[in-house]
Structure 1
Amino acid sequence: MSIETTFRESLSELDVAVTRTTPGSCADAIADAADGKTIGVPLPEGLTLPPDVIDRPTNGDLETAETGVTPATLGIAETGSVHLESDRAGTELVSLYPQRHVAVLRTEDLVSDVATAIDRLGPDLRAGGSGVIATGPSATADMGSLVVGAHGPGEVHVVLVEAGR
């Protein structure tokens, strides 16, 4: 089974939607995955946000946005997780505040397992980089029954961009 197939199956188990697209159609795929007022941070070279996405969100935008769009630097197939950098652009905040998070990930940034992810992320983290590995919608059962969206997005959608720049 391919890494991408495993990643898609893991996302399905987490009730995370996934759209596969090309670099040229990335903005359209994001627009289709977004809902309501949408904020975002810059995407990697060759990928663009839809024109109606607020790409320099204010604190007020964070509070009122329904969808946040961020790049993911890595996807972990066995868990369906994505790595999001903590950076000056606000990637982590934009992924956490809105009800829906759209993570944009290139297929070449998929790895098979957590050990491989740590090997790949290690040099940047040891050099002072920071980030979060997010797995599906936010959920907690700390106070009894399961609550989705308690500490982050209640919905996640991954836009998986085919190789090519």
Structure 2
Amino acid sequence: MSNRAQNHSGPAPLSAYADRLLEVRREFLLFPDRIVVRARWWSGRSYEHVVRTADLTGEVRETVVRYRIHRYAGWLLAVGALIFAACFYYADIAWLQPIGYVALAAAAVGGIVLALTHRNRRIRFARFPDRSGRIVLDIADAGNTDDDFSAFVRAVRRQCR
């Protein structure tokens, strides 16, 4: 982390936006000369990064990404339910019953995660390249509203020019 990222005693941010996914919450603070990105994962790990607006071209590349955790949760639900059903179809074999209960628990976890990630099963990203063409900033449309996302992306584009 740079000292510049940690020191926010200067002017208030021009705009702020937060995107929230199941495993990470990112906060974007737009200042006249930089964008500060703070990320906090559910495991407690945190990260802070500064992107200078002078390094960005102002071009936005929008892309839609399928949320991987949503897909994995669906598979966990389906496979867990299938194994549970198979174990109890052959219920006369005693050692299969504990496996069936574990599969039922896995299916339940898959169902819960599937429900939690359903809103963000497809995530739109606004990606900002630097002068060399590398993507140095990406913002997910996983906040409160699409309007907040669009307004923040417009504000970032204005500062990059």
TM range (shorter): under 0.3
Higher relative contact order (CA 8 A, sep 6+): 1
Tell me which structure has the larger Cα radius of gyration.
2
More helix by share: 2
Q: What TM-score, normalized by structure 2, do the two folds share?
A: 0.21
